[in-house]
Amino acid sequence: MMMVPISGVIPLNDKLYEHWLYVPMVGFWLVVFGLLRWLGKDKWKRLSLLGVMVVLVWVGLTMRQERIWKDGLSLYTYNLQFGDDVRLLNNLGYEYVKREEYEKAKELFEKAVEVSNQSVWTVLNLAQVYELQGKQEQAEYYYDLAENKLGDQK
């Protein structure tokens, strides 16, 4: 029931927000306190072993997340393995532009345009990549395409 906000039934502007997971954590903590009650007052060895195991798991998961979140390139690459999203493709392409890897950026922007032809920003980014590569004709084509899309949205 607590996953209703991200179920897709009610359209929202993003896929997942961290704060939506706080309420479902109530069930998790009820289980933890139930285990503590089951262990009883005189069973501190079980409790401490359980605590150490939980902390070790959390440390391992935190270290894994830190590797994923270390920079935009690793974050967007990791998240794209779960499906093509225009925003992620666009952001990863921008990361490659910052690194001056224009061919990789161009591939990602083109893929983003294929996934959703409605994104004006992706078309503009593609035009900028062509311009940075010195390909003025292709850049002008995509600038005109972006301008037409902006005109269609008005």
CA distances from 79 to 7, 18, 47, 114 (A): 18, 15, 36, 18
**Domain segments of the chain: what residues?**
4-68, 72-153
Distance spanning both ends of the chain, measured CA to CA: 39
Per residue in 2-18, pLDDT (tens digit) is 566 556 565 555 555 55
CA–CA distances in Å: residue 15 to residues 2, 78, 108: 15, 16, 21
Q: Note the pLDDT tens digit of each residue in 68-122.
A: 888 889 999 998 988 888 889 999 999 999 999 999 999 999 999 888 777 788 8
CATH of domain 72-153: 1.25.40.10
Condensed to tens digits (0 to 9), the pLDDT of residues 47-73 reads: 777 778 888 998 898 898 888 888 889
